[in-house]
Structure 1
Amino acid sequence: MKRHIPLLVFVISAAIGLSLTYVILDRERAVERREFEILAEEAVDRIRGRTEQNFSLIAATHSFFEADGGAMSRAKFQSFALGLFLKGHLSGMQGIGFAKLMQTGREDEASLALQQNYELERQVWPETDQAHRTPIILLEPLDLRNKAALGFDMFSDETRRKAMLASADTFTVKVSAPVMLVQEITEEKQTGFLAYLPLASEEEAAGEKLNGEESIQGFVYAPFRAGDLHKAALTSPTPVPVLVNTTDVTDEQPEHLYTSEDYEARAAEAENLVTRQIEVGGRIWEISVIEAASKDNAFLYWRTFMLGSISLLFSAALAVSIRSRLRAREANQRLKEMSEKTIQEKDLMLQEMKHRIKNSIARILAIARQTAGASESLEEFNDSFSSRLQAMANAQDLLTRSRWSKADLKALLLQELEQVFGEGAKGIKLAGPAVQLNETGTHALGLVFHELATNAMKYSDVFADDGRFEVIWKVLPAKKGKQLELDWLEETGKVIEAPKNFGFGSRLMEALVAGEMNGKIDRQFTEKGVAIRISVPLV
């Protein structure tokens, strides 16, 4: 019997060691699985965020049409659209355009519009048995792909027609099922989809009715190449090392939308697969995510295999087992806590994103209306509106770099001055301590600095030999926390008279400082220039 004790101890030690090895291996695989799920969630959120960002551009274009009363010439629309495209906002959009709603039989109106806008002799196509038509009469940028689509009657196609009718019912952005865009005129073709937002007619006689009481002039729309959209989402600002397969599962028969290169080859051997569904313009997309590259499991789990080997060689397997089990339990608890925290942060991020997008759209719409009311010409409106949107975009960019936490006051100020004065901004004296602004303060002060810099460019000669231009700020103690006090000083040789009436820019600054930041702005005009003091609480 004693002869068998060493063998018995060895067998028990080996059994304990192998059992422990299997448990730890399982835990490591669970951690790996959760890390991949977090990566997959990021990829899905990027695709969702990219589409929502592009939909906000459609809404902004819709507001531009509304501000112009719907009577949009190609020159005006091209100038507006070019501003969007130069700022890199395409992100999978093939372009943005307008399709006019008209009764069948009035196609000559569309042909005339194409001739006037693009000097293009083209009839509305294809033939249709529908009572209405929606030919594309405006589409930018005018490249070879988009030129091929001009005059196309989207209402003649059932897939596109369903999306337009759904959009007309709710007056919200609606997306079509996957289609092959008429822009796909090259050998490299991609599946696409279209997003529509109806443009209401202020006068009933100027529009048409589809399936509701509201009279509609047409649809602001954007064609998307699904491949370009996904690639932009998954590679910017940094690549996400995953492969995706996206399918539209809204209808009974799912329709393929996009598949990453090498997805099919990797799908059979992929260890992890995450599938999520998102809502995009009334459609349901199902996104399947796998790893972009296989892993060397032997190298990945080398600690586990080493522990198993050591367990077979040493008789202290019981002590190792107890210690390892405790570690496994702690790792499991941390994994559970990390999973719960990740889910909470994801939900909070999604809600915050929706809230920010709604606020941004509301602010853009308000600025568009107010700027339109204060502008004497479309060119003046376009310049003012574009510059104010750029100021908002600059503030948003600073916040995005810090994951929406804080933005540096000096960086924000210098960014707006460089936008207006270019290289001349380096000659402006900027002095003050480091100040971190929250989201509200960043957006508000970004627009305020833009308005002040624009006024200085228009009315002051601050860069003359006898000129003086400086911005100095300090942080003072207040009853509740701290207060930022910023002095904006412009001195010049020429006499500056105080304005008798304040325009929209001044009212906007007052609303931003007093209404959004609970502060105040004081303006003092002297013979040499103007001194402006902004006092706001720091949160």
Structure 2
Amino acid sequence: MKKHYPIVAFVAVAIASLAMATFAYLAADEAARIKFEAAADDALNRIESRVTLHLALLRATDAYFMTRGGDVGADEFRAYFEALDVEHDFAGLRGIGFLGLADADRTALLEQDIARRQGVPKSVFPPSDADIRTPIMLYEPLDRPQLTGIGYDMYGEPARRDAITAAIETGEPRATGRLMLGQQVRAESWPGFMIFSAVERRQAGDDKPVGVLFATFRTPDIFDSVFDKFPALPVHAEVFDGPAEPQNSMFRTENAPHGDLVTTRQLLVAGRPWTIEFHPTVEFTRPTSQAVPVLLGLFGLLLAFAIAMLQRYQARAYDAMSELQENAAKSLLEKDLMLQEMKHRIKNSITRVLAIARQTAANATDIGEFSESFSARLQAMAASQDMLTRSRWQKAELRELLRIELSQAFGKELPDGMLNGPKVLLSETATQALGLTFHELATNALKYGEVGTSPDALKVEWRLRGGGGLLLVWRETGTNPVEKPEKQGFGTKLIDMNITRELRGTIRRDFSDGGLLIEIEIPLDGK
């Protein structure tokens, strides 16, 4: 229990501190959400106030037409529109107009009414199969003069027709969805929406309206007038006609969203449901910095760590002394094992050197040949030993072993593509045995092959086989045929002994007109 007490103390204090930090983080996050929702509600109120103002203007215009029984001329309507000062007081509104309303068989009467109001003849267009016609009789755009739209029948377009029908049936203003305005009568068009309001007759008993008022709104203008108002709100808004889906998007503010907060609000605009999504921008500041809970948590962890360290101090002194004694005993044991291993390796090396000396002497014709062959083989052993020493007697890399042995025979710069294969780590036994083998193969290639004059004639490739085996292919090519020697020399015997006895592998030689092919296959699980 004494050993685990510091851990228990650390965990208890850390949990309490992290709980406090989590509570502080959640409280800060909730405060930020409440503050942002307040900003979003402020933005929604601005939008709603702007829409309400425009609807009030449309109702006032409706009252004006009702008092005149719908009989308003172009000059009178222009004077009324100019008195409104739309550009300054009704930002986003691009124009107000009046649609005639009659059955399709009374189109000629509608054209006469247009000529009377405008003072010039205008035809109703385009052709339509609808039962009723609703041509523009009066229209005052903000960027007038515009007479090209007079006579255009809005009932022929589905989105406008639905809003006109709803306004006539309900007697209330009705809005369209997102429209491209102006494209029916001119080349220029812009995104927006329209609101229609039926002008009722004053005579009792006649329920058919005398016409339909309409107002056009340019979407960017109306929303820019809302969000450019001082003070600026730290919100990014996207307005959708209906559900918040990409295809329903009507407007998006230019400022980029920042953070993961989002608030969705619903707004009914002249019978048309809008969905507005609000996201914070970089200007939105949280009531409490998010760094406070983090610092609180870090302070709690540091406090828990300090308490645990104080509890652990005395135990560590005792543990340090015990560990020192244990390490001393372990070091003595490792030293003894290293001395035993060194004696064993030296004995094996001396045995191998004596065997090579006896076999070299038995096959040498004079002392000079003996000296040269014996020195070369000792040098191959030394290269392998050097690789093992540099790898601390653990593993040696096959490519590096080949490069060392072949560079002794063919020079330090080996041709590109001579060695090709994956990375393979060799054991101590495999390193020494393959080092001698590669030395013998390289010596024979220099003596009897064409590698001495053309290094590109030698290719060494290897790959791993299933079950942990290694397949190495030594390929010498040339123009002269290669014949199998009648007598097997010591070098060949040394190679076969290294592969079959030392490494428990197999070796196959193929002498042909195209050169010499040697395949060596050994297991890699040997020590």
TM-score w.r.t. the length of structure 1 is: 0.50
Distance 1:242 1:180, change over 3 A: same
Q: Is the 8 A contact 1:95 1:146 kept in 2?
A: no
Q: Is the 8 A contact 1:148 1:183 kept in 2?
A: no
Query: 1:219 Cα deviation (Å)?
Result: 0.8
Among candidates 259, 281, 287, match of residue 292 of structure 1: 281
Which residue does the alignment assign to 1:70? 70
Q: Is the 8 A contact 1:66 1:199 kept in 2?
A: yes
Which residue does the alignment assign to 1:368? none
Query: 1:21 Cα deviation (Å)?
Result: 1.2
Query: 1:28 Cα deviation (Å)?
Result: 0.7
Which residue does the alignment assign to 1:208? none
Equivalent position SS for 1:288? strand
Which residue does the alignment assign to 1:271? 260
Equivalent position SS for 1:220? strand
Do structure 1's residue 238 and structure 2's residue 231 form an aligned pair? yes
Query: 1:102 Cα deviation (Å)?
Result: 2.4
Distance 1:34 1:251, change over 3 A: closer
Which residue does the alignment assign to 1:258? 251
Which residue does the alignment assign to 2:134? 134
Which residue does the alignment assign to 1:19? 19
Q: Deviations over 1:335-358 (max 9, x none)?
A: xxxxxxxxxxxxxxxxxxxxxxxx
Equivalent position SS for 2:51? helix
Equivalent position SS for 2:263? strand
Equivalent position SS for 1:257? strand
Query: 1:24 Cα deviation (Å)?
Result: 0.9
Distance 1:272 1:146, change over 3 A: farther
Among candidates 293, 302, 306, match of residue 295 of structure 2: 306
1:216 partner amino acid: P
Distance 1:281 1:108, change over 3 A: same
Q: Is the 8 A contact 1:145 1:184 kept in 2?
A: no
Once residues 186 and 198 of structure 1 are traced to their aligned partners in structure 2, the CA distance between those partners, rounded to angstroms, is 26
Once residues 153 and 251 of structure 1 are traced to their aligned partners in structure 2, the CA distance between those partners, rounded to angstroms, is 31
Q: Is the 8 A contact 1:248 1:257 kept in 2?
A: yes
Which residue does the alignment assign to 1:43? 43
Which residue does the alignment assign to 2:10? 10
Query: 1:128 Cα deviation (Å)?
Result: 0.5
Structural mapping, 1:403-422, within 5 Å: none
Which residue does the alignment assign to 2:499? none
Q: Is the 8 A contact 1:13 1:317 kept in 2?
A: no
Please list every run of 5 or more consecutive structure 2 residues that lacks an aligned counterpart in the other structure: 308-527
2:224 partner amino acid: K
Count of residues paired in the alignment = 306
Q: Deviations over 1:429-488 (max 9, x none)?
A: xxxxxxxxxxxxxxxxxxxxxxxxxxxxxxxxxxxxxxxxxxxxxxxxxxxxxxxxxxxx
1:300 partner amino acid: S
Once residues 62 and 233 of structure 2 are traced to their aligned partners in structure 1, the CA distance between those partners, rounded to angstroms, is 33
Q: Is the 8 A contact 1:145 1:183 kept in 2?
A: no
Q: Is the 8 A contact 2:236 2:279 kept in 1?
A: yes
Do structure 1's residue 221 and structure 2's residue 221 form an aligned pair? no
Distance 1:237 1:29, change over 3 A: same
Equivalent position SS for 2:89? coil
TM-score w.r.t. the length of structure 2 is: 0.51
1:96 partner amino acid: I
Distance 1:286 1:8, change over 3 A: same
Equivalent position SS for 2:28? helix
Once residues 60 and 314 of structure 1 are traced to their aligned partners in structure 2, the CA distance between those partners, rounded to angstroms, is 71
Distance 1:252 1:232, change over 3 A: closer
Q: Is the 8 A contact 2:91 2:225 kept in 1?
A: yes
Once residues 30 and 21 of structure 1 are traced to their aligned partners in structure 2, the CA distance between those partners, rounded to angstroms, is 14
2:39 partner amino acid: L
2:248 partner amino acid: E
1:53 partner amino acid: L
Q: Is the 8 A contact 1:54 1:91 kept in 2?
A: no
Which residue does the alignment assign to 2:164? 164
Distance 1:69 1:115, change over 3 A: closer
Please give the root-mean-square deviation of Cα atoms over the aligned residues, in Å. Answer: 3.6
Distance 1:157 1:6, change over 3 A: same
Once residues 148 and 158 of structure 2 are traced to their aligned partners in structure 1, the CA distance between those partners, rounded to angstroms, is 20
Q: Is the 8 A contact 2:194 2:215 kept in 1?
A: yes
Query: 1:296 Cα deviation (Å)?
Result: 9.3
Query: 1:294 Cα deviation (Å)?
Result: 8.0
Please list every run of 5 or more consecutive structure 1 residues that lacks an aligned counterpart in the other structure: 205-211, 319-539
Which residue does the alignment assign to 1:84? 84
Once residues 254 and 166 of structure 2 are traced to their aligned partners in structure 1, the CA distance between those partners, rounded to angstroms, is 33
Q: Which deviates more from structure 2 when the two are superposed, residues 194-203 or residues 130-139?
A: 194-203
Q: Is the 8 A contact 1:124 1:135 kept in 2?
A: yes
Q: Is the 8 A contact 2:174 2:270 kept in 1?
A: yes
Equivalent position SS for 1:22? helix
Query: 1:251 Cα deviation (Å)?
Result: 13
Which residue does the alignment assign to 2:373? none
Structural mapping, 1:345-424, within 5 Å: none
Structural mapping, 1:396-475, within 5 Å: none
Which residue does the alignment assign to 1:440? none
Q: Deviations over 1:470-524 (max 9, x none)?
A: xxxxxxxxxxxxxxxxxxxxxxxxxxxxxxxxxxxxxxxxxxxxxxxxxxxxxxx
